[in-house]
Structure 1
Amino acid sequence: MSQAPMVCQPVSIVSPVTLSSEGSWSTGRYDCCSDCLMCCVGFCCPAILSCYVSHKYGEHCCLGLVPGGMTALRTEMRHSYGIPGTVCRDALSMCLCGWCELCRMAREVHTRSLS
């Protein structure tokens, strides 16, 4: 009983977040004052906010707890929203400014899911 090898990546189910070609984040990396409550949660308990972002984007909520999970999610968000960048910049952003990027991702997914 052998199975044929997989030759391409499986296509993901359409996420509830709308694809866009706007080309930029709706807020800046350091615009914490635009949603103080979300930034307070991100600063006090980033694990909760990362689970919220993952779930709100349509991924499993535990993705935020997996090492590298938020970098992968940021890359996917960037691609689906048409925001230019690279995987290397995504990884550096999450390593150097993780809290700020997490808060920005939360604001982005919240804003785009409302429209």
Structure 2
Amino acid sequence: LGETMSSFAQVVTAQPTSSAFNRHTGAWKSGVFDCQQDMSIFLCGAWVPCLLGFQVAKDYGESLWSGCFIDCIVAMRTGIRERYKIEGSVCNDCLMTYFCFPCVLCQMARELQSRN
């Protein structure tokens, strides 16, 4: 028991600082309005956004139905940022998704496609 407690104490004393959790190292590989970078994604997002939402949800690892609800899209956008350490905020994710929904959906699809 004494050996276990001493090894546990060593782990606890080496806690990371809070700044280690907040380091963002990148940006989106394409901008929100760079829809012309992939015309198939753009056309799908412009004409059948729910279908593109299904694909984004599938590529992200969520239920396909998550791609149909705007609040789920906001959560997935935030999750993509966190997963790939992309700069931004939840507030920005929310505003961009609500006001530029098809463009944001296309950006997320391009990001997941380029990283998978």
TM-score (normalised: structure 2): 0.76
More relative contact order, 1 or 2 (CA 8 Å, 6+ apart): 1
Rounded Cα–Cα distance in structure 2 between residues aligned with 1:82 and 1:69: 19
Q: Deviations over 1:26-65 (max 9, x none)?
A: 1111111110111000000100001100001111111111
User: Identity over the aligned pairs, expressed in percent?
Assistant: 37
Counterpart for residue 50 of structure 1: 53
How do residues 63-102 of structure 1 correspond to structure 2 at under 5 angstroms? 63-102=66-105
Instruction: Tell me how far 1:68 sits from its aligned partner.
Output: 0.3
Rounded Cα–Cα distance in structure 2 between residues aligned with 1:93 and 1:87: 10
Instruction: Count how many residue pairs are aligned between Structure 1 and Structure 2.
Output: 93
Counterpart for residue 32 of structure 1: 35
4+ residue segments displaced more than 6 Å: none
Report whether the alignment pairs 1:106 with 2:109.
yes
CA RMSD of superposed structures (Å): 1.2
- Give the aligned residue type for 1:28: G
Alignment gaps of 5+ in structure 1 = 1-20
Instruction: Tell me how far 1:66 sits from its aligned partner.
Output: 2.7
- Is the radius of gyration larger for structure 1 or structure 2? 2
- Give the aligned residue type for 2:41: M
Change (3 A) 1:74 1:83: same
- Give the aligned residue type for 2:103: C
Higher helix share: 2
